[in-house]
Amino acid sequence: DADVTQTPRNRITKTGKRIMLECSQTKGHDRMYWYRQDPGLGLRLIYYSFDVKDINKGEISDGYSVSRQAQAKFSLSLESAIPNQTALYFCATSDPDGEETQYFGPGTRLLVL
């Protein structure tokens, strides 16, 4: 089984709708991240969390919110989706003890019409 899973893998929604993207991990890592990927722009950090009580804004947090329900779960919400939020969204985890490596989920492809 994959260490970092994301649901759904694909989602089509309409402008103005609220949607939630979910991320679960079995790696036991404290740190979790949400990124979006746009063609030609690489990955940009939306939010990150170092533990259940620690949530931090990233580079592009406007229009998004997150919830860290447990060490293993980190959800990203779009309160009112807009077309320019159409992108590929990745969740990642990392271990604070030395490895400095982030482990990525398979991604959620979101289309906002």
Partner 1 sequence: AQSVTQLDSQVPVFEEAPVELRCNYSSSVSVYLFWYVQYPNQGLQLLLKYLSGSTLVKGINGFEAEFNKSQTSFHLRKPSVHISDTAEYFCAVSKAGSARQLTFGSGTQLTVLP
List contacts with partner 1 (CB under 8 A).
4, 31, 40-45, 48, 50, 58, 90, 92, 94, 100-107
How is residue 43 written in tokens? Answer: 């990955």
The CB-of-69 to partner 1 minimum distance in angstroms stands at 21
Nearer to partner 1, 85 or 93 (CB): 93
The CB-of-10 to partner 1 minimum distance in angstroms stands at 11
Quote the CA–CA distance of 66 and 2 in Å, as a whole number.
22
The CB-of-34 to partner 1 minimum distance in angstroms stands at 12
Quote the CA–CA distance of 66 and 16 in Å, as a whole number.
18
The CB-of-96 to partner 1 minimum distance in angstroms stands at 8
Residue 38 CB contacts under 8 Å (≥ 6 apart), including other chains: 44, 87, 88
26 beta partners = none
Nearer to partner 1, 42 or 84 (CB): 42
Quote the CA–CA distance of 15 and 86 in Å, as a whole number.
10
Nearer to partner 1, 1 or 100 (CB): 100
Nearer to partner 1, 19 or 23 (CB): 23
How is residue 49 written in tokens? Answer: 């969390």
